Amino acid sequence: MLIDVYNILLSKYGPQGWWPGAGPLDVVIGAILTQNTAWSNVEKAINSLKIANLWSLESIYCSTEEELASVVRSSGYFNQKARKLKAFAEHIYMRYEWDLAKFLNQELTCLRKELLSIYGIGPETADDILVYAAEKPSFIIDVYTKRILGRLGIINFKHRARYEDYQKLIQDQLPQDVQLFNEFHALLDNHAKLICKKSPICSECVLIDDCNWAQQQDLVYE
């Protein structure tokens, strides 16, 4: 069922080519800045960082929180995000002497645990970095994934579920393939933004025939 959803979305939208950026540093900075904001705001903050010559872990580490916050203001929660960026930069400096590749080259479980130990990095941000920067299979759970798979009836917990509960349920149904995880997450996000919104456009949805929510609303079209 889940792989069928992937194939239908891939056929509809084609490859998404995520992550927007040129390398692991782009992913790390983008993953922190995109917390609780739209990507368009992140792009503005990234451009400001580059203009301010703050596009390296070394320069972020050497900047003041006030300076950094001012530069990333467009991303929202800018004081918190400045502290998070500096915390990540300090971690790579103190433990890896600026060698981001060495940090990302760890075994998946160890790397995920270490990411979660860094201030400001929760499960979703950690998995963004794992999939798109480290190229390791750790499915990203976000609000769009929960919305679509919940409406389809694939996710249907009877209790208050943790992030890891959602992740295990999905990963148990898919091959452990980082490229598949990469593409599927991007496709789900795209479909949620275009069609499966809070108020969905069910008449244009390629998944409607398998959608429990639409059937309950009597929205399945002949």
Percent of the chain exceeding pLDDT 70 equals 97
- The pLDDT value recorded for residue 118 is 98
- Residue 32's nearest CA partner among 97, 92, 99, 96 is 92
Q: What rounded mean pLDDT belongs to the chain?
A: 94
- The pLDDT value recorded for residue 22 is 72
What are the pLDDT digits (tens) for 144-184?
999 999 999 998 877 788 999 999 999 999 999 999 999 99
Q: Is the pLDDT of residue 25 over 90?
A: yes
DSSP string, 27-41: HHHHHHHTTTS-HHH
- The pLDDT value recorded for residue 214 is 81
Mean pLDDT of 31-38: 95
What are the pLDDT digits (tens) for 91-136?
999 999 999 999 999 999 999 999 999 999 999 999 999 999 999 9
Q: Is the pLDDT of residue 222 over 60?
A: no
Highest mean pLDDT pick, 59-73, 155-169, 203-217: 59-73
pTM: 0.93
- The pLDDT value recorded for residue 220 is 52
Is residue 165 left, alpha or beta, with left meaning phi > 0 and alpha meaning psi from -120 to 50? alpha
Q: Which domains does the chain have, with CATH numbers?
A: 2-15+140-216 (1.10.1670.10), 24-132 (1.10.340.30)
What is the spatial distance between Cα 154 and Cα 67, in angstroms, rounded to a whole number? 45
Half-sphere exposure (CA, 13 Å, Cβ side) for 133? 25
DSSP string, 50-98: HHTT--SHHHHHHS-HHHHHHHTGGGSSHHHHHHHHHHHHHHHHHHHTT
Phi, psi of 8 (to 5 degrees): -65, -45
The whole-angstrom distance between residue 84's C-alpha and the CA centroid of its chain comes to 16
